[in-house]
Chain A
């Protein structure tokens, strides 16, 4: 029985599993023709997976997709596009050296007659028309890279219009735009809406949702939470719906004794990335760094660690100013950084556990010119025991270990460096629950031994569960600083700060 649906695209009951993770759990999403639907959720709520299922990049393990009431199965992105679903990704797919026309008509070239030659006259004309209909009067023969981000995004939208998209997903489209460009984008969205196209507008900025959207859907932990007309949402109700959880008892927090200021950062600035970042971190404490993805937390710690050059600012370790120009100098100053990308920048995957463990402490493991094999052996074995790295021997290749055990090797490497300030960037990302608790216990031990721990985490419960103090970043700035005993030490208030709201005293 063919039913006429009120939705142009509808996703029902979609479940998508990855090894060890359920990314989407009975997810749903429904978009009406000619409406702008806001989609919002915390980091890791499942937005990207949801988008990729709709665009055919991933195939859901369960669930159905309907386009205009008709059941569809997308085995690849082409089938999704053929059904009229388009997506403007946050990272634009623009070939900057090619002309606007080439970008718009890539793989959809117009040919002269039915021959092999491309009809550029016709394509330029059509490209000009499409861009004009989006409010952009530009020369399509020019290279796409000569235009700003706003117009490059319009080129992506033009591609969608050209395939007669019924629904366009915009993944954080305003994140790289200036104010004027955002205005133009919103105008274009309203225009597309009036043409009967459904739009899914993913954004981290609440004010944009309130200005633009007809309805807003909230998702959390891979699950569908709620959809309401925009008039029935408030700032607070949106944040509560997003955060939702109660703090679970999965954090074995132990307290150290607050010591002296181990790390003081003053006015740290990196052009276009960090704006005058200042904070202090103390011995015997865990300082949590909270904020949305892209808030500048990783950039901050990389700058402190000398991994990236800085434009300004001063760094003090235990009251003494240090000038750090390379990770080597940072380690000499007593700072360790466990990076968020374990495989990319934490480990040498093709090397043994033994070698990875001493990567930051060759000197301590050398006797004169030679490596002290006995010492390496003993300390390596000790780390395997205390960190409970599951492996047959220290000669195992690190690439063969599971994520949790790999992370323990990185931790062991930094314990060997014997630092005063331990910076952990997303230390429990992608590892299983048991390993998480073991990582928390390492942090507990460090603060109980008077060390200073700084933990970046995008998991709100983890921040609240483990931190003695929290700083919240947004747009490369420190927005708020909250002690564990403050009344603001709760999910709602920290989220509010992360989304740009101010906390009253």
Chain B
């Protein structure tokens, strides 16, 4: 029954990625150029940060719709502080990470202490708050000329192959390995899965589920802030109006394609990485094949719907299998 490779990735997902790459290589010979590959990795890194936080929230059967706006807000906050005269890049990044973490902590607190019904509501509200805040702190202006240290993560490359291997993707690899170990080998990591699988049973087993949830949303905020720092390095600017871009949906899509479920309790870092790569390859392929950006949006929207539909089918098939197995044992 186990068509899974390490960490529980569906074989089909990997196959989809391989087929997409094969198709694009066939359709456009630029696809396999070193420069393009490195470009894909750069694109993947931003989404991979946001998807890490999103995955934690999805595992708890929640969601964080504010990740994209949070990332842009953190970038804009750095821009505003730089304009105000703060020149230390390190300090700017620390402030950004603290701000992102605090926004995530607020999301978690709204959910667990004020008992708002579903994080969908609170994080959707927060998305708008952060979008507005990003515009307010920057006075609706684009800001550039960030310190080199801030731009390091998004801009720096290693070596010369294809213009150099992006540091951002290297950081992502390290982050994903660490998070994988955290989720699978620590008590808090397992608690996140258990809380998502059955909140009440987990609480009654002596685990403070409110704290577990707050942790996940705070982590999501930190990941968003890192994404924000990365975006500044990659584009050289911060721009408050970017907060409405569909970053959240890309992150959700990466997680769901990678095996996470809206009903919680499932999802892996490896799967999410594959999901993020699929999204990036898809977007890259559209560009290579010169497909109009509005059509890109349509196709990506459909891919997300398809991924969710597959999740539903997967869940009902598993439920059926479980039922049959339970009956067979009686």
Interface residues of A (CB under 8 A from B): 19-20, 305, 307, 326-328, 330-332, 337, 339, 344-351, 355, 358-360, 362-363, 365-366, 369-371, 373, 390, 397, 399-402, 405, 413, 417
- Which of chain B's residues have a CB closer than 8 A to the CB of A330? 206
- Which of chain B's residues have a CB closer than 8 A to the CB of A337? 204
Interface residues of B (CB under 8 A from A): 185-187, 190-191, 193-194, 197-198, 200-208, 265-266, 322, 325-327, 329-330
Q: Is the interface of B mostly helix, strand, loop or mixed?
A: helix
Q: B190, B197, B203, B322: which contacts A362 (Cβ < 8 A)?
A: B190
Given A305-B204, A390-B329: 6 more A-B contacts, CB < 8 Å: A19-B330, A328-B208, A345-B198, A358-B190, A365-B187, A400-B326
Q: How far is the CB of B214 from chain A (nearest CB, A)?
A: 15
A359 in contact with B327 given A347-B198, A350-B266 (CB within 8 Å): no
Counting chain B CB atoms within 10 Å of each CB, which of A326, A348, A365, A417 scores highest? A348
Q: A19, A370, A400: which contacts B325 (Cβ < 8 A)?
A: A400
Chain A to chain B: the 10 pairs with minimum beta-carbon distance, closest first: A362-B187, A348-B197, A331-B206, A360-B205, A359-B205, A400-B325, A345-B200, A328-B206, A348-B198, A350-B197
- Which of chain A's residues have a CB closer than 8 A to the CB of B329? 390, 400-402, 405
Q: How far is the CB of B188 from chain A (nearest CB, A)?
A: 8
Q: Are B200 and A344 in contact (CB under 8 A)?
A: yes
Q: Are A371 and B187 in contact (CB under 8 A)?
A: yes
Q: How far is the CB of B320 from chain A (nearest CB, A)?
A: 12
Q: Are B327 and A348 in contact (CB under 8 A)?
A: no
Q: How far is the CB of A317 from chain B (nearest CB, A)?
A: 15
A327 in contact with B322 given A362-B190, A371-B186 (CB within 8 Å): no
Q: B193, B203, B327: which contacts A327 (Cβ < 8 A)?
A: B203
Q: Are B186 and A369 in contact (CB under 8 A)?
A: yes
Q: A327, A348, A390: which contacts B206 (Cβ < 8 A)?
A: A327
With both beta carbons as reference points, the residue of chain A lying nearest to B319 in the complex is identified as A399
- Which of chain B's residues have a CB closer than 8 A to the CB of A370? 185-186
- Which of chain A's residues have a CB closer than 8 A to the CB of B187? 362-363, 365-366, 371
- Which of chain B's residues have a CB closer than 8 A to the CB of A359? 194, 201-202, 205, 207
- Which of chain A's residues have a CB closer than 8 A to the CB of B205? 327, 331, 359-360, 413
- Which of chain B's residues have a CB closer than 8 A to the CB of A327? 203-206
A58 to B81, CA, bound (A): 69
- Which of chain A's residues have a CB closer than 8 A to the CB of B204? 305, 307, 327, 337, 339, 345-346
Q: Are B193 and A351 in contact (CB under 8 A)?
A: yes
Q: B191, B208, B326: which contacts A326 (Cβ < 8 A)?
A: B208
- Total of A-B residue pairs, C-beta within 8 Å: 92
Q: Are B194 and A360 in contact (CB under 8 A)?
A: no
- Which of chain B's residues have a CB closer than 8 A to the CB of A401? 326, 329
Q: How far is the CB of A460 from chain B (nearest CB, A)?
A: 27
Q: How far is the CB of B7 from chain A (nearest CB, A)?
A: 14
A238 to B327, CA, bound (A): 39
A-B contact pairs, 29 of them (CB 8 A): A19-B327, A326-B203, A327-B205, A328-B206, A328-B208, A344-B198, A344-B200, A345-B200, A346-B201, A346-B204, A348-B194, A348-B197, A348-B265, A349-B198, A351-B193, A351-B194, A355-B193, A359-B202, A359-B207, A362-B187, A362-B190, A362-B191, A366-B187, A369-B186, A371-B190, A400-B322, A400-B325, A405-B329, A413-B205
Q: Are B185 and A397 in contact (CB under 8 A)?
A: no
Q: Are A347 and B190 in contact (CB under 8 A)?
A: no
- Which of chain B's residues have a CB closer than 8 A to the CB of A371? 185-187, 190
Q: Are A402 and B206 in contact (CB under 8 A)?
A: no
- Which of chain A's residues have a CB closer than 8 A to the CB of B198? 344-345, 347-349
With both beta carbons as reference points, the residue of chain B lying nearest to A346 in the complex is identified as B201
Q: Are A397 and B322 in contact (CB under 8 A)?
A: yes
- Which of chain B's residues have a CB closer than 8 A to the CB of A399? 322, 326
- Which of chain B's residues have a CB closer than 8 A to the CB of A369? 186
- Which of chain A's residues have a CB closer than 8 A to the CB of B193? 348, 351, 355
- Which of chain B's residues have a CB closer than 8 A to the CB of A339? 204
With both beta carbons as reference points, the residue of chain B lying nearest to A363 in the complex is identified as B187
A351 in contact with B326 given A307-B204, A331-B206, A362-B207 (CB within 8 Å): no
- Which of chain A's residues have a CB closer than 8 A to the CB of B190? 355, 358, 362, 371
